[in-house]
Structure 1
Amino acid sequence: MNENKVVAIVKGKEITQQDVLQFLNDLGPQTAMQFQSPEGMKRVVDELVNQEVLYLDAIENGLNEEKEFKEELERIKINFLKQYAFRKVISDISATEGEILEFYNEHKEHFQKPESVRASHILVDSEDKANEVLKEISEGLGFEEAARKYSLCPSKDKGGDLGEFTKGQMVVEFEEAAFSMEVDTISEPVRSQFGYHIIKLISKNEASISKLDEVKNQITQQIIGKKQQEVYLNRTEELKNKYEAKINL
C-alpha cells in the first residue's frame, strides 16, 4: 500500500492514504474492520474531505477567534500538558532482573497453577447407546472415530477433544469423573444434565507454581507500575510544597 498516494485534494491540501490509515487507527480495530472494503475506504475519504471543508469554513468565518473556542482550546491544552507532564515524570522507569527474581521468590503463592486435565468425550442421549459405543470401542473402534460417528457434542469434529481444563469449568459429574481417572483410560458412562458421557483422559497436570519465564512479563509490569506510582506521588508531594498547595475538606 502506497501511504503517500493522494486520495483527495481540498483547496490545494492533499489527503493521502496515510491520512486514511491514521483515521482508521484512531477508530480502533473493531470499528475499523467495518471499512475494510473499497466502499468503506471511500466512506472514510468522504469523511476526511467533510472534516477538511468544515475546518476551512470555520477558519473563514472566524470561529477560531471566538471566545468560547479559545476557552475550550485552553482547557484542552491544559489537560494535554498535564498528561504529557505525567508521562515525563514516569518515563525511563524499568525493572531489573534482580527485582523480578526477588518479586517472584517472595510471591510464589500468587503464581499457583491449579490441577488440570485434558480430556475427550463422546456425548450420547442414553445409557444404552453409551454402552453400545463402549462395546464398539472395546472391539477396536478408535475413540476419536467413535466421537466423530456418535457424539452429539460439537467437539466431535475434533475427535471429542475438549482441551485442557481446571476444576470448576465443567459440570460436576463430568469433572469428578475426569479428575479421578488415570491417563489413557476410558470411563464408564457418566450421566449429566446433557446426557451420557464416555470420557477419555488424555493428560493430567498436578498443581504447580508457574515458572519465572511464564510470569516474567506480568511481574515486570507490576514492578514498573509500583515504581511509577511511587515516583509520581513523591514528585507531586515535592511540587505541593513548592507551589503551596492547600486542600480544604
Structure 2
Amino acid sequence: MNRLKNKVISMALIFSLGISASGCGLIEKSPEAIAKQRVAKIGDEYITRGELDEMFTPMLEQLKASPQYGADYLESAEGKELLKSQKTETLDGMIEQKLFEQKSKELNLFKDENEISEGIKTSRDNLVTAYGSEEELNKKLEEAKISNELFDKILRGQVISQKVTEHIIKDVTVSDEAVQKYYDENKASMTEQPNTMNVSHILLKTEEDAKAVKQRLLNGEDFATVAKEKSTEEAAQQTGGDLGEIMYNDPNYDQDFVKAAMALKEGEISDPVLTQFGYHIIKVTKKTEYPIQEFDAVKDSIKYQLVYDEQYKVYSDALSEWREKAGVEVYEDKIV
C-alpha cells in the first residue's frame, strides 16, 4: 500500500512540475491508445487492435470457460502462445474480409448500403427461422458472448464475401470429357461400397531385421507369435500385429503402408516396406472387394466435386492475388 501511495505522490509531483514522462517510458499506454494501435495494413486501410480484440472476444471467452484450457492456463507461456495463434487466425479472417470489401467496391457489386443492410436482415431472419424464434437466437448469441453489434458486423462480412465469391466463380465449368477422364483414372475408388482388407504387420528398426523376420515367416512360423517377439510396436504384445479391417486408401494410415498392403494377395507376405515409422513386414489375411459403379451412376457426383475443386482454386488464387496487390502487412508485435 505504501509503495502505491508513494507512486501516486511521485506522479502527482511530476505533473505539478510540468515534466513529461512519456519519453522515458514511465507511463504505460492506456487501453484507448492500445485499441488504436494498427495490427494490419490492407492497401490504404488498417485493422486496429481494438477491432481485432472485439472480434476475438467470443473466442477468448470460450477458451476461458473451456475445461481443457481455462483462465489460469491462458496466463501460462503455452496459453499465451495459444492466444497469439488464435488471434492471428482471427486477424487473417479479418484481413480477408477487408479484401472482399475492397473488391466489392471495385466491382460495384452493391448499388448502395441499403442492399447490404437488406442482405444482413435476410441472413438474420433465416437464422431466426432456424432457431425457432428471435429469443432463441439471442440466447445463442449471448451464450457465445457475441453482441448484436458484433453479430451485425459478422453478417455484413458474410453478405459481402458471398456476393464477391459468387461473382468470381460464376464462370467455372467442368467439361463432360474431364468428368469421364476422372472416372477412368479413379475407377478403383468408385466401388458400390468401400473395399477393405484385414491386415497384420510387424514393425522393425532395420531392413536387415525385416528380412530376417520375413524368412522366419516363410519357414512356417506363426505371424502373431513372431510379431509379439520382434515387433517394436507396443500394441503388438496384445494384438500380435493384427490391425483389423482397414479401407483401401485409408487416410488414417501411412500411405506407403496402405499401398503396399493393397498390392498383396490374400495370405501373401510383403518384402520390407519402409515408412516414417520404420520397416514393416505386412500380411493381408482377407480382402473384401465390391463391384465398380457404372459411369452414369456417379457422373453427377464427380462433376459436382470437380466443379467445387475448381471453384475453390479460383477463390484461393484470387485471395492470394488480392493480398499481393494490396501489399498486406501484419504487425505481429501488436497482436497481443
| TM-score (ref. length: structure 2) | 0.30
- Larger strand fraction of residues: 1
